[in-house]
Chain A
Amino acid sequence: MMANSPVPLSQPPRAETSSQICDRLWRLYLEMLRIRVIERRIAERYGEKEMRCPVHLSIGQEAVAVGVCAHLRKQDKVMSAHRSHGHYLAKGGNIRAMLAELYGREAGCCGGRGGSMHLIDREAGFWGAVPIVGSTMPIALGLALADKRRGGDELTTAFFGEGATEEGVFTETLNLACVLRVPMLFICENNGFSVYTPLSLRRAPDFEFGSYVRSHGSLYFSGHGNDVEEVFALTGQALSAMRQDPGRPCVVEFSTWRYYEHCGPGQDDHLGYREAEQIKHWAERCPLAVARTRLLALSPALDPEMTAAEKRYIREIDAVIENVRSSPMPDAATLQRGVFAP
């Protein structure tokens, strides 16, 4: 997985100095590394059977979460779906509340009612993730509509996989966003699979997603989702296109790959549902390795700092896990609390 990367370099904006570029890449890298370390730890400890809920790891897809969220302010809103750890963390979601939720604890972000597929941290601008594929897209649109009506300048972003675009609700939402002229950002992570089902069984050979999106009146961009600099640059382009054309939503599609099984702590390439060539292609494009290689070319002295950062993140997540494991489970007496809002 950690191979040298042939992913093409994106064009940095001319005004930036190489040290600025290096600084930014370093920050993006660190954030990806933090997410990778956390999810790897989740995978490693899953077998202890204390995290008793399904987990959809985003290992391999960190660059999209990090590159997009790097543009977002705290007050900007993000919603996501079943594979949301990366989005939640990149948006600044509370790590302890997330782990406590996975461990079914009272201190979880949903008080233990949701599990890994229901993350939320509104203070960080993460307005919720739910596992019904496609379901948060219209809700995010409603949030964006409310902001627009209020005259606010918050941006709302919905993250989803390409599978969600097959749901009617995607088309309904995109069309509504265009008709109501609500500028929201749709980030599609195309990892080629819906569980085990390849895109080739889900779209006709001549289906063109970009034209489909544009024909509704939306902006559309696409790029490499495993190159965090490209994700960052393309998101920047998308946002400036949205600023120049107010009222238009924008869909940005990133190609990427999940390294783990659809759901669970392991890798499942032995099952043979993904072609060896594809597996190799993407193994050579690990988003962390791509960024690391480029960083070391810019500044070889960063090597030990990378190692130190990884150790630090491991210590941090281990401390969070131990803290969470010793925290209380929800009180059974609270079972029916909040069926109705007061």
Chain B
Amino acid sequence: MSDKSPTRELTFAEAIREGTALCLARDPRAFVIGLGVPDPKGIFGTTAELAAEFGADRALDVPLSENALTGLVIGAALGGMRPILTHQRVDFALLSLEQIVNQAAKWYYMFDGRGGTIPIVIRMIIGRGWGQGPQHAQSLSSWFAHIPGLKVVAPASPADAKGLLVASVEDDNPVIFLEHRWLHNMRGPVPEGYHRTPLGECLVARSGSDVTVVASSHMVIEALRAADFASAHAGVEMEVVDVRCLNPLDFETIANSVKKTRGLVVADDDTRQCGFAAEIVARVGEAGLKLNAPPVRVTYPDCASPSSSALAAVYYPAAPDLFLAAARIVGRGASLVDKFPKRPCPVDVPYLEFPGPF
């Protein structure tokens, strides 16, 4: 790991691009493959110019064949390569669930180690906004985290996007790398050079003594906004634990936080029933950790993600919801939710200038 001071800022997308380029430069076995990888948009900039820099056979465009492509990268990994497969939406990767779940996830286990390892990274983008609707804006992170043998990574910051991507490429297991579309254009400090963030370690993104918010991916951003407000206006100190890696899960960091705060909100960019938030609540319960108030899950409601901005506005939980949950647990400040600053832009875009459509 590099210890260089993280002064320089990049967007999340640039950070992924930088991490990918480092992997390609460092390891001749690595390559990126997926629909649109070398096209002019370069997967929202995350693969921009990789083909020019590393050659067309290190950054491949492909036919629309998600399932066979997944098999192909599994086989290539067995043959000694280290592929990164990209999907512009999680929703498209559903056509490859057979290969992901039956083959990649199980290969090492089912052949008792003799089948070889499957060092692949499958990048999937979680869509949101601009009316993308039921089949371009779901997360399904809980599904993947449910499958033994898959590592599931969901970075929330540019630094982690780079560090976790590098660590995912280095890992000998299949890694599902979930990128929330609303994170791609966020800026933040990113360490230079070959920087890796180990898989399976939560990050305490903000410390606080009153209530723990466990969040991943874009929900971390919402949680941090909520925590800023809570601290400034309600005197409530929310501790934000960024899960970073849903499987394997660093429960210890979560448990330590909950022991300290005795309050738990779980924020998950996914529907509720049988979801990751339920898993965290269950583990806290099983561990016998004492809570001062019942835990709260803040998730998408149990329906598909609707297109209309009027419906999207009530579908996606946001910072005020997290603040409200935390304030109720702590027992003070809940009425201040009305003072929560209005979003500076419509609810269906990440920021005012966002041009759409994807």
- Chain A interfacial positions (CB closer than 8 Å to B): 109-114, 118, 120, 122, 127-128, 130, 132, 135-147, 149-150, 168-169, 172-173, 175-176, 179, 337-342
Given the interface pairs A176-B62, A176-B63, A176-B65, the reply to whether A128 lies near B71 with Cβ below 8 Å is no
> Which of under 10, 10 to 19, 20 to 34, or 35 or more describes the interface residues of B?
35 or more
Residues of A within 8 A of B65 (CB): 172-173, 175-176
B111 touching A145 by the CB < 8 A rule?
Answer: no
Min Cβ gap A338→B in Å is: 5
Residues of A within 8 A of B99 (CB): 135, 138-139
A146 touching B68 by the CB < 8 A rule?
Answer: no
Q: Which residue of B lies closest to A173 (CB)?
A: B68
A142 touching B71 by the CB < 8 A rule?
Answer: yes
Instruction: Give the residues from 60 to 98 in chain B that come closer than 8 angstroms, CB to CB, to chain A.
Output: 62-63, 65, 67-81, 98
Residues of B within 8 A of A114 (CB): 110-112
Given the interface pairs A142-B72, A172-B65, A172-B68, the reply to whether A118 lies near B111 with Cβ below 8 Å is yes
Residues of A within 8 A of B77 (CB): 142
> Which listed residue, A139, A172, A179, touches B103 by the CB 8 Å rule?
A139
User: Which of the candidate stretches B5-13, B113-121, B179-187, B275-283 sits at the interface with the other chain?
Assistant: B113-121
A140 to B68: give the CA distance in the assembly, Å: 10
A342 to B118: give the CA distance in the assembly, Å: 12
Given the interface pairs A122-B116, A130-B102, A146-B78, the reply to whether A338 lies near B108 with Cβ below 8 Å is yes
Residues of B within 8 A of A176 (CB): 62-63, 65, 68-69, 72
A144 to B81: give the CA distance in the assembly, Å: 11
A169 touching B75 by the CB < 8 A rule?
Answer: no
A179 to B65: give the CA distance in the assembly, Å: 12
Min Cβ gap A58→B in Å is: 21
Supplied contacts A110-B110, A122-B116, A141-B72, 12 more A-B pairs, CB within 8 Å:
A138-B74, A142-B72, A143-B76, A145-B72, A146-B76, A146-B80, A150-B79, A168-B67, A176-B63, A176-B65, A338-B108, A342-B172
- Chain B interfacial positions (CB closer than 8 Å to A): 57, 62-63, 65, 67-81, 98-99, 102-103, 107-118, 148-149, 151, 172-173, 248
A150 to B117: give the CA distance in the assembly, Å: 18
Min Cβ gap A210→B in Å is: 21
> Which listed residue, B67, B74, B111, touches A110 by the CB 8 Å rule?
B111
Q: Can you report 12 residue pairs joining A to B where beta carbons are below 8 Å apart?
A: A110-B110, A110-B114, A118-B111, A128-B115, A132-B103, A143-B79, A169-B71, A172-B67, A173-B71, A338-B108, A338-B113, A342-B172
Residues of A within 8 A of B98 (CB): 132, 135, 169
Q: Which of A109, A132, A338 has the most CB of B within 10 A?
A: A338
- Which 9 pairs of residues, A with B, have the shortest CB-CB distance? A142-B75, A146-B79, A138-B71, A172-B68, A111-B112, A172-B65, A139-B75, A142-B76, A138-B68
A127 to B78: give the CA distance in the assembly, Å: 9
A135 touching B79 by the CB < 8 A rule?
Answer: no
A341 touching B172 by the CB < 8 A rule?
Answer: yes
> Which listed residue, A112, A113, A139, A175, touches B109 by the CB 8 Å rule?
A113
A142 touching B63 by the CB < 8 A rule?
Answer: no
B68 touching A113 by the CB < 8 A rule?
Answer: no
A341 to B172: give the CA distance in the assembly, Å: 6
Residues of B within 8 A of A337 (CB): 109, 112-113
A11 to B111: give the CA distance in the assembly, Å: 42
B102 touching A140 by the CB < 8 A rule?
Answer: no
A338 to B113: give the CA distance in the assembly, Å: 7
Q: Which residue of A lies closest to B114 (CB)?
A: A120
Residues of B within 8 A of A168 (CB): 67
Min Cβ gap B12→A in Å is: 27
A144 to B103: give the CA distance in the assembly, Å: 17
Residues of B within 8 A of A136 (CB): 71
> Which listed residue, B63, B78, B173, touches A139 by the CB 8 Å rule?
B78
> Which listed residue, A127, A150, A172, A179, touches B80 by the CB 8 Å rule?
A150
Residues of A within 8 A of B149 (CB): 339-340
> Which listed residue, A130, A141, A340, touches B108 by the CB 8 Å rule?
A340
A130 touching B68 by the CB < 8 A rule?
Answer: no
A135 touching B78 by the CB < 8 A rule?
Answer: no
Residues of A within 8 A of B112 (CB): 110-114, 337-338
A130 to B74: give the CA distance in the assembly, Å: 14
Min Cβ gap A225→B in Å is: 25
B68 touching A341 by the CB < 8 A rule?
Answer: no
Q: Which residue of B lies closest to A108 (CB)?
A: B112
Given the interface pairs A146-B79, A147-B79, the reply to whether A138 lies near B72 with Cβ below 8 Å is yes
B71 touching A146 by the CB < 8 A rule?
Answer: no
Min Cβ gap B248→A in Å is: 7
Residues of B within 8 A of A138 (CB): 67-72, 74-75, 99
Q: Which residue of B lies closest to A118 (CB)?
A: B110
Residues of B within 8 A of A112 (CB): 112
Q: Which residue of B lies closest to A144 (CB)?
A: B75
Residues of B within 8 A of A173 (CB): 65, 68, 71-72
A120 touching B81 by the CB < 8 A rule?
Answer: no
Q: Which of A132, A145, A179 has the most CB of B within 10 A?
A: A145
A23 to B122: give the CA distance in the assembly, Å: 51
Residues of A within 8 A of B172 (CB): 341-342
Min Cβ gap A173→B in Å is: 4
A142 touching B115 by the CB < 8 A rule?
Answer: no
A139 to B107: give the CA distance in the assembly, Å: 11
Given the interface pairs A176-B63, A176-B69, A341-B117, the reply to whether A142 lies near B78 with Cβ below 8 Å is yes
Min Cβ gap A19→B in Å is: 40
B109 touching A339 by the CB < 8 A rule?
Answer: yes
Q: Which residue of A lies closest to B68 (CB)?
A: A172
A342 to B173: give the CA distance in the assembly, Å: 8
